[in-house]
Amino acid sequence: MPFFKDCIGAIDGTHITVIVPKEDQMRYRGRKGIPTTNVLAVCDFDLLFTYVLTGWEGSTHDSRIFLDVIGDLKLKFPKPLEGKYYMSGIKRIRKEKDT
């Protein structure tokens, strides 16, 4: 795979339908109008998950979750070594965290 020579895997977010208390439903309501949790996942070329982060409200954009996870050492995100990278489905990444 010469086009992906230095790629070590793929990273993307996905929405999982959840049941939450009535008072939390607005925060968890995703773009399709139902309560979801946004899950960030990384997998390698053997299709093995190497990192999964759950719990974000469905209304949270993938880019905000990604920026938070790479900035928080406690979350132990597997940052690629120099010259390596992940393929990403995250369409918008800002230099500053969304507020």
Phi, psi (degrees; rounded to nearest 5) at 88 = -135, 140
With respect to residue 86, please indicate whether it lies within any of the assigned structural domains: no
Considering its fold, how many domains does the chain have in total? Answer: 1
Q: pTM of whole model > 0.85?
A: no
What is the rounded CA–CA span in Å between residue 51 and residue 99?
25
With respect to residue 60, please indicate whether it lies within any of the assigned structural domains: yes
What is the rounded CA–CA span in Å between residue 76 and residue 73?
5
Neighbour count for residue 92 (Cβ, 10 Å): 10
- Considering only CA atoms, which of 51, 52, 59, 63 is closest in space to residue 88? 63
With respect to residue 98, please indicate whether it lies within any of the assigned structural domains: no
With respect to residue 42, please indicate whether it lies within any of the assigned structural domains: yes
Q: Percent of the chain beyond pLDDT 70?
A: 88
Query: Containing domain of residue 69, as a range?
Result: 2-74
With respect to residue 81, please indicate whether it lies within any of the assigned structural domains: no
Q: How does pLDDT run across 15-52, given as a tens digit for each residue?
A: 999 999 999 888 999 888 999 999 999 999 899 999 99
